[in-house]
Structure 1
């Protein structure tokens, strides 16, 4: 694992993560925290091997979670992991593209 890699969440990804945690906790107490832990494990897998996951564009990759129907959309630049979206796999699959800066689209 590249422990020196820093992680930056786009505001969209932060909001998606918080919304999902709140939703899952409303369904079953503690489930949202399990979801957050699963996202953390997914990010650790990405850091371990950032090029291993499905390429969605020239810059972005998708790494699916193991337990939930979600994926982390990300790109790497200058030893920074940019988390673009915490995307539900059944909803608007290309919505993450609107979050990217123009030079990354």
Structure 2
């Protein structure tokens, strides 16, 4: 299965990683590892995580207040957002194309 990141999701990931790295040396790397772990978990079991809106699923990050929001299909895992949990709930839906 191929992982595809929406441009907005990639931007969220890069900005969050830079912010954490600015707070403590190596923390940005730890955030990136948590993001990788969330994506890997979604790939292992795409339909086994919490179903949220319509056809979307989520995986919570470990140690960070972030959620991976994705849309699985037979051949692709579309990452819609690396969503900070203190943002307005559901604001990621604006970019989901639904």
With normalisation by structure 2, the TM-score equals 0.95
Structure 1 residue 90 displacement after superposition: 1.2
User: Are the counterparts in 1 of residues 47 and 72 from structure 2 also a CA contact under 8 Å?
Assistant: no
1:88 corresponds, among 73, 84, 91, to: 84
The ranges of structure 1 where at least 4 consecutive aligned residues each deviate by more than 3 angstroms after the TM superposition are: none
CA RMSD in angstroms, aligned pairs only: 0.9
With normalisation by structure 1, the TM-score equals 0.89
Q: Aligned partners of 2:57 and 2:74: how far apart in 1?
A: 16
Pairs aligned (count): 98
Structure 1 residue 100 displacement after superposition: 1.1
User: Are the counterparts in 2 of residues 54 and 61 from structure 1 also a CA contact under 8 Å?
Assistant: yes
Mapping of residues 26-45 of structure 1, within 5 Å:
26-45=22-41
User: Are the counterparts in 2 of residues 87 and 93 from structure 1 also a CA contact under 8 Å?
Assistant: no
Q: Structure 1, unaligned stretches of length 5 or more?
A: none
Q: Structure 2, unaligned stretches of length 5 or more?
A: none
2:45 corresponds, among 49, 52, 56, to: 49
Structure 1 residue 80 displacement after superposition: 0.3
1:70 corresponds, among 60, 66, 71, to: 66
Q: Aligned partners of 1:15 and 1:41: how far apart in 2?
A: 18
